[in-house]
Structure 1
Amino acid sequence: MAQAQRIPTVEQSLANIHALFGSQSHAGLVYDNLPEDFRRAICSAARLTKAHINMPLADMDEVSRAKLHRAINTLADALKPLANRSLKDFR
């Protein structure tokens, strides 16, 4: 009789995905795969250096990650009223 294959747990699968992409978290996976121009805008809003633009989130120190987190939340809140508006609303 063939041996049953062990199915990985959700946590194990997510850990494998993060390891595959060199990321430690879901947010890291998303951030690390943003287009460069988006990362540039976020890093600028967070007042980080040019070196941070291509740096994976996992390689940043706690202060830099906190600045990114604050900038992302600030931008998201500020842009919500403008999102999904038609072009004619921008006059």
Structure 2
Amino acid sequence: MARIEFTPQLHRFVDTPVVDTPVATLREGLDAAFAVNGRLRGYILDDQGHLRPNVVVFIDGRRARDLRGLTDPLGPSSRVHVLQALSGG
């Protein structure tokens, strides 16, 4: 099963479950995590359902390509890491 994990920094604002799920795409994996905690959706996706500009997703160590449709494929042993991009001044 694919494993979806979120950055510890995000946990300061909302519960971030680790989700093991038998899904085929990034969208399905994120939806499985949102089913555990619906508040998480607003931190990850914008009003159109696209990744927020400050969110980066890595699938098996590679950056996700489809930031709008979230159609990147997941395999049975995929590891997904959802991170908030850091900025500063």
Do Structure 1 and Structure 2 share a fold, with TM-score over 0.5?
Answer: no
Q: Which has the higher strand share?
A: 2
Q: Which structure ranks higher in relative contact order (CA pairs < 8 Å, sequence separation ≥ 6)?
A: 2
TM-score, with length taken from structure 1: 0.26
Larger radius of gyration: 1
TM-score, with length taken from structure 2: 0.27
